[in-house]
Amino acid sequence: MLNINEETLNQCAKCSTCTVNCPVVKVNPAFPGPKASGPDWLRLSLNGETKNEFPEGIEYCSNCKNCEIACPSGVPVAALNQLTRAAKLKKEGSGLREKLFANPRFLGKIAVNFSGIINFFTRIKILRLIGKSFFGISANIPFPPYAPISFSRWFKGYQQKVTKAAKKVVYFPGCFAEYNKPETGKALVKILNALDYEVVVPEFKCCGQPAIGNGRLEEAKQFAFHNINELKKYVKDGMPVLFSCPSCLLTFKEEYGGLLGIEEAKEVVPYLYDAGEFLGCLEFEDILESKALRGKYAYHEPCHLKAAGVGTPGLDLLNEVMVDTVMPLDAGCCGLSGSYGLKAEKEPITMAIGENLKVAIKKINPEALVTECGMCGVQLHNVSGLRVYHPLELLASNLKEND
């Protein structure tokens, strides 16, 4: 795990920039802020100057990473908060809810086979209220619906259309594209095939971000070791690895080697790309039927995409390759933060943060919304009722001979 020492903690200049940029602090006075519950508290703890074993309100950190994005000194503020929260949950124990939320792949494998039934029951109000009473799951924020067929199942039966000279890329779909919205993965495969790239999808596990967010760092580390070992087989030949989910990309790039302290992660990091980032380096002129997007769209930048340091490649690609009709919302964090907002006690925080989205969407008045993050998409739809697309879906919809 990340080594906590005075050198790391003393990098903090106590400027409180992280706290100013924390979306949770703005709506929840019970959370003292990432500095107070992170470097400040740990510094005092190392010196034996803390009254309590854990900082109050640490459970309210959503791990959105806005503190680390804002920090001028490069302090791993969010990682320090995650270590402390995980230690608290390990000592006090976590319930069935956290165990299930920590491994969406386990849930997804079951749910995708009964998606119609599960999606129906998760929409029934009385059952949602029961879920709140017994498991602490929000009764008002919609649970992401499951697809009838997983991405992997579709991919195994899909005949890729490439030449013998096609280059190869690895694709990590992530749990959301795998079980909830396989259209994202399908779109990427079809775009890459049109550019004469063959797609390889190894036997991955969950990236581990949900496990991190639910305080189960050892579980996240197990996932990480498996995924790194899988990737080593491909990156040794220089094969790029593409991600359609910003949280998965961030976890591989930053959390594996940083928070989880896995040295081998450095071997694969140079080969990791956001899908839009990779596609932005390629020529699209000959594969698109039309450059015109039908309708008016507004784009939401996920916090984890920003934290991954790749800019907004999906938005840039749409506005460069197609007509400039996609406008940024510039509304900040959506507030859902993965399974964070699905927890009943976090629901008021999530909805309060999400008010900025409502205002921004109303101002632009788009016909549909665009974002790379699946869970951000859930929140966007929740506050607006509008359809939400991944940038890859819009690109794929304009491919020549699209099937």
Name 169's bridge partners. 199
Residue 402: predicted pLDDT: 64
Higher local confidence (pLDDT), 320 or 250: 250
Residue 306: predicted pLDDT: 97
Is residue 92 scored above 80 in pLDDT? yes
Higher local confidence (pLDDT), 387 or 51: 387
pLDDT band at 377 (very low <50, low <70, confident <90, very high): very high
Residue 323: predicted pLDDT: 62
Cβ contact 29:89 at 8 Å: no
> Residue 8 is which amino acid?
T
Q: What single string gives the DSSP state of each residue in 265-333?
A: GGGTGGGEEEHHHHHTTS--TTTBS-S--SS-EEE---HHHHHTT---HHHHHHHHHS-S-EEE-----
Domains of the chain and CATH, by start: 6-92 (1.10.1060.10), 289-397 (3.40.50)
Residue 403: predicted pLDDT: 61
Q: Give every strand in the sheet of 167-172, ordered side by side.
A: 197-200, 167-172, 241-243, 272-274
- For residues 202 and 278, give the distance between their C-alpha atoms in angstroms, rounded to a whole number: 19
Average pLDDT, the chain: 93
Is residue 324 scored above 70 in pLDDT? no
**Long-range Cβ contact pairs of 127-133 (< 8 A, separation 24 or more):** 132/344
Residue 331: predicted pLDDT: 96
- Predicted TM-score (pTM) of the model is 0.95
Burial of 328 (0-12, 13-18, 19+ CB in 10 A): middle
Mean pLDDT across the stretch 217-235?
97
Residue 106: predicted pLDDT: 94
How far is C-alpha 349 from the chain's CA centre?
18
- For residues 222 and 90, give the distance between their C-alpha atoms in angstroms, rounded to a whole number: 16
And the tokens for 387? 């359809």
Cβ contact 216:99 at 8 Å: yes
DSSP 3-state assignment of 137?
Answer: strand
Mean pLDDT across the stretch 341-366?
96
pLDDT band at 315 (very low <50, low <70, confident <90, very high): very high
Give the number of C-alpha atoms closer than 13 A to the C-alpha of residue 392, restricted to the C-beta side. Answer: 27
SS3 content of the chain, % helix, strand, coil (to 5): 55, 10, 40
Phi, psi of 371 (to 5 degrees): -160, 155
Contacts of 230 (CB under 8 A, 6+ apart): 202, 203, 204
pLDDT digits (tens, 9 = 90+) for 110-145: 999 999 999 999 999 999 999 999 999 999 998 899
